[in-house]
């Protein structure tokens, strides 16, 4: 199968949907590739009562003339096409313009017991609950860092979970400063208040993080630390994530310039590669509002409506302060590097332990000598942890940027394109 579109969008979260809708409403042929079974991304994952803005965008997305390819992944790509694995086959999508709205994943940091069943990401447990995992009556500790913690606690509380504690590693002072800066954003403040109200029974601890998860075969309790105090709380689930890491594998493969790990984009969200646009978290962790604006800008620009795209840019720039403030408020404290002990598994695919990795020279040496990052997840979990723990720079990317069947690699490959280029 091979198809050609004016605009191909990768990712159907808020940024991807906004880009696709904007380009389609501008009269362009649009295809959207998304790994999830349904549109909405992680933040608007189904199974939760979605806010009005989400319902509106999902409605527009479903009504627009868009070729939707859920359950599909881009595993390779070049200047005019991407290779997609979906529905059991590999196929090419040709594009005039490409919008990368690949979102972000949680940063996970290892601590003893974090591989026990019952320990999830923060967004991870939220997603599992939306996917049908019952949490009613379950005792849940929410831990890690970032505004996601409160949102997750609220969602889980609304489902009947007993939130035992919310542990934010950032100190109260920096979160308070962030909250003060947010006073100019009444909508965000209101949302924060709503979340806190929903999870009002939970104790909120700042400057607090998990040092161990316990249980025989499954989680039964967590040891928390705050300053010199350590205590153990019983729980059924631990929802723990340390803010977000942008998904930039495809962007990097296409040769787009990155700055401090994020995609460098101009005022109309174009990357350093002409015709390749980027929107949402890969450009900077900025939340749904920034993602929607960037998506619209990218979609319009990809459709050739540069003036309309430019007209939206000032609204997006107003959010720059929020993006920066978010990054500063939830900076990881160095003590988190001491959570893992020698025997703590860092690479969950290959079961490589912290003690095996400590003292290695580089990510590449660690991969070659210990198998760290060589498993199915291609280092998506342990890579970000290793960057934080050891200061390693994670390698250049190679296709396939997501695991794909061998048959997809043979049926969809860029050989023809390479021949044309010669």
Q: Which residue in the set 5, 57, 111, 120 belongs to the binding site for another protein (CB under 8 A)?
A: 120
Is 117 one of the binding residues for another protein (CB under 8 A)?
yes
| Nearest-approach distance from CB 119 to another protein, in angstroms | 7
Write down the least CB distance from residue 398 to another protein, Å. 6
The one among 1, 27, 37, 160 contacting another protein by CB under 8 A? 37
> Minimum distance from CB of 229 to another protein (Å)?
28
Residue among 54, 125, 211, 292 that touches another protein (CB under 8 A): 125
Residue 377 is a binding residue for another protein (CB under 8 A): yes
Shortest distance, CB of residue 400 to another protein, whole angstroms?
A: 6
Pair 156, 192: CB distance under 8 Å: no
CB of 207 to another protein, least distance (A): 25
Q: Does residue 415 belong to the site contacting another protein (CB under 8 A)? A: yes
Does the CA dihedral 292-296-297-302 come out positive or negative? positive
Q: Which uninterrupted H or E stretch holds 355?
A: helix 354-357
How far is the C-alpha of 312 from the C-alpha of 293, rounded, in Å? Answer: 7
Residues 76-105 touching another protein, rule: CB under 8 A, are 76, 105
Residue 413 contacts by C-beta under 8 Å, 6 or more apart in sequence?
Answer: 76, 83
Q: How many positions of this chain bind another protein (CB under 8 A)? A: 62
Query: Is residue 131 part of the contact set for another protein (CB under 8 A)?
Result: yes
Beta strands in 247-401 (DSSP E): 258-259, 262-263, 276-278, 345-347, 352-353
Q: What is the DSSP string of 85-100?
A: EETTEEEEEEEEEEEE
Told to check if 112 binds another protein by CB under 8 A, we report no
Q: Cis before residue 372, ω within 30 degrees of 0?
A: no
Residue among 62, 67, 64 nearest 93 (CA): 67
Gap between the Cα atoms of 143 and 166, Å rounded: 6
> Which residues of the shown chain bind another protein in the complex (CB under 8 A)?
35-37, 42, 46-47, 71, 76, 105-106, 108, 115, 117-121, 123-128, 131-134, 217, 345, 348-351, 361-362, 364-365, 368-369, 374-378, 380-381, 398-400, 403-407, 409-410, 413-415, 417-419
């Amino acid at each position: 199968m091979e198809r050609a579109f004016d605009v191909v969008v990768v990712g159907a979260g808020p940024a991807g949907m906004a880009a696709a809708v904007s380009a389609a409403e501008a009269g362009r042929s649009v295809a959207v590739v998304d790994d999830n079974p349904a549109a909405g991304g992680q933040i608007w994952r189904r199974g939760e009562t979605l806010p009005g803005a989400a319902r509106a965008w999902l409605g527009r997305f479903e009504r627009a003339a868009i070729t939707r390819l859920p359950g599909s992944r881009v595993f390779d790509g070049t200047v005019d096409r991407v290779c997609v694995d979906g529905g059991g086959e590999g196929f090419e999508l040709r594009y005039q313009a490409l919008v990368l709205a690949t979102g972000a994943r949680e940063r996970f940091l290892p601590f003893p017991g974090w591989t026990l069943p019952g320990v999830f990401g923060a967004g991870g447990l939220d997603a599992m609950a939306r996917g049908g995992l019952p949490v009613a009556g379950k005792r849940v500790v929410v831990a890690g860092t970032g505004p996601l913690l409160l949102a997750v606690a609220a969602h889980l509380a609304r489902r009947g979970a007993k939130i035992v504690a919310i542990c934010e590693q950032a100190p109260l002072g920096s979160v308070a400063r962030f909250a003060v800066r947010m006073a100019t954003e009444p909508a965000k403040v209101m949302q924060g208040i709503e979340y806190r109200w929903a999870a009002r029974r939970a104790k909120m601890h700042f400057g607090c993080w998990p040092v161990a998860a316990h249980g025989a075969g499954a989680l039964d309790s967590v040891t928390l630390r705050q300053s010199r105090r350590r205590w153990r709380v019983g729980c059924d689930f631990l929802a723990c994530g340390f803010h977000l890491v942008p998904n930039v594998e495809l962007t990097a493969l296409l040769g787009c310039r990155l700055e401090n790990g994020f995609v460098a984009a101009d005022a109309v969200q174009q990357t350093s590669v002409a015709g390749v646009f980027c929107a949402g978290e890969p450009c900077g962790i900025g939340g749904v509002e920034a993602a929607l604006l960037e998506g619209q800008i990218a979609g319009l620009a990809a459709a050739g409506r540069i003036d309309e795209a430019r007209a939206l840019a000032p609204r997006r720039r107003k959010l720059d302060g929020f993006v920066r403030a978010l990054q500063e408020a939830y900076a990881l404290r160095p003590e988190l590097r001491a959570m893992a002990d020698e025997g703590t598994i860092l690479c969950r695919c290959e079961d490589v332990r912290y003690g095996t990795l400590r003292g290695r020279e580089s990510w590449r040496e660690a991969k070659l000598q210990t198998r760290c990052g060589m498993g199915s997840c291609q280092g998506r979990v342990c890579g970000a942890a290793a960057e934080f723990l050891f200061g390693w720079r994670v390698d250049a990317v190679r296709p396939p940027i997501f695991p794909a069947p061998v048959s997809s690699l043979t049926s969809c490959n860029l050989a023809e394109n390479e021949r044309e280029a010669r």
